[in-house]
Amino acid sequence: MRILHTADWHLGRIFYNVHLTEDQAHVLDQFVTLAREERAELIIIAGDVFDRAVPPPEAVALWDETVTRLVQETKAHIVVIAGNHDSAERLGLNARLLAASRVHLHTKISQTPLITLEDAHGPVHVHPLPYAEPVLARDRLDKEGASLIRTHEDVLRQQMARALKASAGAQARHVAVAHATVLGAEKSDTERPLAIGGAEAVSADVFTGCHYVALGHLHRPQAAGADHVRYAGSLLKYSFAETDHHKSVTLVDMDAKGACHIEAISLTPRHDVRCVSGSFEELLARGEADPAREDYILAEITDTAPVYNAMERLRRVWPNLMHVDRKWLTEATHASNRFDSDAVKRLSPLELFAGFYEDMTGKTLAEADRALLASLLAEIERQRREA
């Protein structure tokens, strides 16, 4: 069976006040073309279709257009689960009606986690395991063992137990679809934490018995504990922390015994997301010569002297400049966090300013400036006492 696995579309995403719907439509057009040309038999979308529970109208319209095209232009079954950003009720609207068009929406854990498909080698059991908070799962999963659910791993173990029970006795290949943080994978700063501390972590052995596990939630394409347990990654780069990610979708060819040949296929974004660093004049020159000047840019300026109106001036060469960082100021701010608050209280105003000056500039306050400041502080104190 040929499987095309994707996740974390986050339709409706806003990036530094820029609505990304056109960027998402650009790569989803490529995705539909890829699904058609590669003759995918199963398309998996492993959660976070939308960026928020109440998505904007243009995001809903893009979702409708993309799914409609996938149904019309391919013969694939499309399996979709809810992620932590999705509203299970909204995403699951008309699920029974859409199933007749090969679109299988599994957004609620009360649904039976089993879809049986056929290829030339026989049956393939697909187990959609939509995201659910542990407190909700205790209420909605089978009562047997539900009281033991405390963590996200507990939820998935219960879901997998129900999935394997539903397909018991059948000799078939198994594909699980989940939205979770699986141990062995690398997180980034753009995924919303599922729980405090380590309660969100899930062991890959939860999926024992599955021949392929299609994961969503983490935005970097990667394996998690085993080659066949994989994150497809997000559709686009949604943070400057993701500049080193190589975004892709995952094409899987599963043979008669369930062995998988896995290939990551890149999609070309309308705008890349990049960070550039250098002095202000260097950045201006680089921007003028940049063939990809329409990319989304974060510029880090290394000058220690003030730069007037840096954002506006750099936008003349990078029109989609999103943010400007001052490297020395960022480093100084981090350094200032080392001070002990009680120790700070014991410093004189002169010592406080001298320390602040050194943190902000990386230089020691000159003796002449120190003497001038001391005389000014003394005069202020004299006036305060005479008032």
**pLDDT for 190 beyond 80:** no
What's the average model confidence in pLDDT over 162-187? 87
Q: Let me know if 208 is exposed, middle or buried by CB neighbors in 10 A (0-12, 13-18, 19+).
A: exposed
> How sure is the predictor about 188, in pLDDT bands with cuts at 50, 70 and 90?
low
Pairing of strands 273-278, 181-182: unpaired
Instruction: Copy the structure tokens of residue 91.
Output: 């995403």
pLDDT digit string, tens, across residues 81-102: 999 999 999 999 999 999 999 9
Judge contact between 319 and 293, C-beta under 8 A.
yes
What's the average model confidence in pLDDT over 364-369? 85
**Region of poorest pLDDT, from 41-55, 66-80, 340-354:** 340-354
Pairing of strands 201-202, 260-265: unpaired
**pLDDT for 335 beyond 70:** no
> How sure is the predictor about 370, in pLDDT bands with cuts at 50, 70 and 90?
confident
**pLDDT for 1 beyond 80:** yes
pLDDT digit string, tens, across residues 8-29: 999 999 999 999 999 999 999 9
Cα separation of the two ends of the chain:
87
**pLDDT for 154 beyond 70:** yes
What's the average model confidence in pLDDT over 31-47? 98
Higher pLDDT, 166 or 177: 177
pLDDT of residue 196: 46
**pLDDT for 379 beyond 50:** yes
Kind and range of the H or E element at 72? helix 57-73
What percent of the chain stands above pLDDT 70?
87
pLDDT of residue 108: 93
The pair phi, psi for residue 236, each rounded to 5°, is: -135, 170
Judge contact between 377 and 349, C-beta under 8 A.
yes
Pairing of strands 77-81, 103-106: parallel
- Report the SS3 class of residue 79: strand
What's the average model confidence in pLDDT over 128-148? 77
What is the DSSP code string of 88-148? Answer: HHHHTTTHHHHHTTTEEEE-STTS---EEEEETTEEEEEEEE----HHHHHHHS-STTGGG
Q: What CATH fold (topology level) applies to the domain 2-265?
A: Purple Acid Phosphatase; chain A, domain 2 (3.60.21)
Name the residue ranges covered by the structural domains of the chain: 2-265, 273-331, 339-386
pTM equals 0.82
CA max distance for the chain: 96
Higher pLDDT, 342 or 294: 294
